[in-house]
Amino acid sequence: MAEFAFELNDDQRQVRDWLNGFASDVMRPAAAEWDEREETPWPVIQEAAKIGIYSLDFYAQQYFDPTGLGIPLTMEELFWGDAGIGLSIVGTGLAAVGVLANGTEEQIGTWIPQMYGDADDVKVAAFCSSEPDAGSDVAAMRTRAVYDEAKDEWVLNGTKSWATNGGIAGVHVVVAVVDPGAGTKGHASFIVPPGTPGLSQGQKYRKHGIRASHTAEVVLEDVRVPGHCLLGGREKLDERLARARESAGRDGGRVRNAAMATFEASRPAVGAMAVGTARAAYEVALDYAGTRTQFGRPVIDNQGIAFQLADMRTRIDAARLLVWRASWMAATGRAFTSAEGSMSKLYASEVAKDVTARAVQILGGNGFTREYPVERMHRDSAIYTIFEGTSEIQRLVIARTLSGVPIR
């Protein structure tokens, strides 16, 4: 079992530096263009695929890093490059995590490679959980999956919202209700293979930030998928639903929820994304403060500016340490007894919003223009306190874990 350490090993440093080079040389020069276009940066994704960054093998290597730091290091460097392009590169990973968290070994081996494609034919995948009336309130989910025993098929109907890569993906992972009487415990995840009739893209969202990442509705109209597309299999689902029925009406009956299993695994990674964006904004502000002259001296000579930079750097480092702790705990099988995963996501996302806002302020009028990247970074940072569990939901999770009381 890997011990927690603050010092990266040689392999981790090499990967970090390699990713930083790609982020600096390929992502940053393209960031403003794709933000303005509000389109998926396929050429950048293909460049990432050509050198092995966008591939199943690379993410598997990082995922199985025994220290748990492979994924957060990757996320921080890519989102230091640019959040919108970064999400286009790593967005497929959420669908992959959905399969890893809920699927069988056969399903993992079959579907995850198809999510990425290869350097000559790049693919993306989508994880579809949120709905127009079911974001944080997953119990309000309406998308239904009904089993057709005669054909051994599941029939899916409903509308998903806020799906990264929704509609343009090859493989979609869809969370649906299979037993309405079981509440959130009656949810299951399904693979919808490429080209399945009945799945279509609804509206594409025009967003405040991360505009290079495609976000859209996914509409499911009598979508039929084979029985083997139920993640985890029918036997596992029946056992889980039976336990849910037994625990109905009793406190403490804990049954795994398909969407929550995915989010639990990905929250520290989102925290690492936020750290990357915050670090990028801080570095721009630090450089600007050291070169911008007012009243005959660099503005960093003013205590008001210097103290802001000191706070920014301190909070970024603290956020990174929370992310690393949660990632190490997950990799070494330690339970989040104090909701450490939610802590890392909550704190890092709030830090990103604060640091990028301060960066805009330090740059003054220049920070408010698109000539400098902090304006984009500030817009991008807003998403971290919203997706994969809002800050309010993270606080609720933490409070419930600490108190043992179903706080509302």
Q: Which residues are catalytic?
A: 388
**Helix/strand/coil (H, E, C) string of 22-72?**
HHHHHHHHHHHHHHHHCCCCHHHHHHHHHCCCCCHHHHHHHHCCCCCCHHH
Q: Using alpha carbons, select from 194, 186, 197 the residue that is nearest to residue 219.
A: 197
Q: DSSP string covering 127-185, please?
A: EE--BTTBSS-GGG---EEEEETTTTEEEEEEEEEEEETTTT-SEEEEEEES-GGGGGG
Alpha-carbon separation of residue 89 from 47, 55, 94, 266 (angstroms): 10, 10, 11, 15
Helical (H) or strand (E) element with 359 = helix 340-363
Q: DSSP string covering 267-289, please?
A: HHHHHHHHHHHHHHHHHHHHHHH
What phi and psi values does residue 125 have, to the nearest 5 degrees? -130, 165
Contacts 24+ apart (CB under 8 A), 231-238: 231/98, 231/99, 231/102, 231/103, 231/104, 231/107, 231/173, 231/188, 231/189, 231/190, 231/191, 231/258, 232/102, 232/103, 232/104, 232/107, 232/188, 232/189, 233/104, 237/178, 237/188
Checking DSSP bridges between strand 144-148 and strand 187-192, what pairing results, if any? unpaired
